[in-house]
Amino acid sequence: MADVFISYSHANEHSRHLAAALAKRLRSAKVPVWYDEVIVSGDQWATQMEKRLEEASTFVILLTEDSLQSPTTNFELGVAASRARSTDGVRLIPVVLEGTSLEQLPKFLRGRQVIFAGKKRDDCTAKEIVEVVTALSS
Per-residue confidence (pLDDT) for residue 2, from 0 to 100: 53
pLDDT tens track for 93-114: 999 999 999 899 999 898 889 9
- Domains defined for the chain, CATH in brackets: 4-136 (3.40.50.10140)
pLDDT tens track for 33-91: 998 876 667 767 778 788 889 999 999 999 999 999 999 999 999 999 999 999 999 99
Per-residue confidence (pLDDT) for residue 40, from 0 to 100: 65
Give the mean pLDDT of 109-138: 88
For residue 32, give the nearest of 13, 51, 6, 50 by alpha carbon.
6
**Cα torsion angle, 39, 42, 46, 47, sign:** negative
pLDDT tens track for 26-39: 999 999 999 887 66
Per-residue confidence (pLDDT) for residue 82, from 0 to 100: 94
Per-residue confidence (pLDDT) for residue 45, from 0 to 100: 74
Per-residue confidence (pLDDT) for residue 1, from 0 to 100: 42
Q: How far is CA 93 from CA 6, 43, 80, in A?
A: 10, 28, 10
Q: Is the pTM of this model over 0.75?
A: yes
Percent of the chain with pLDDT strictly greater than 90: 65
Q: Report the C-alpha gap between 70 and 33 in whole angstroms.
A: 22
pLDDT bin (cut points 50, 70, 90) of residue 19 is very high
Per-residue confidence (pLDDT) for residue 138, from 0 to 100: 67
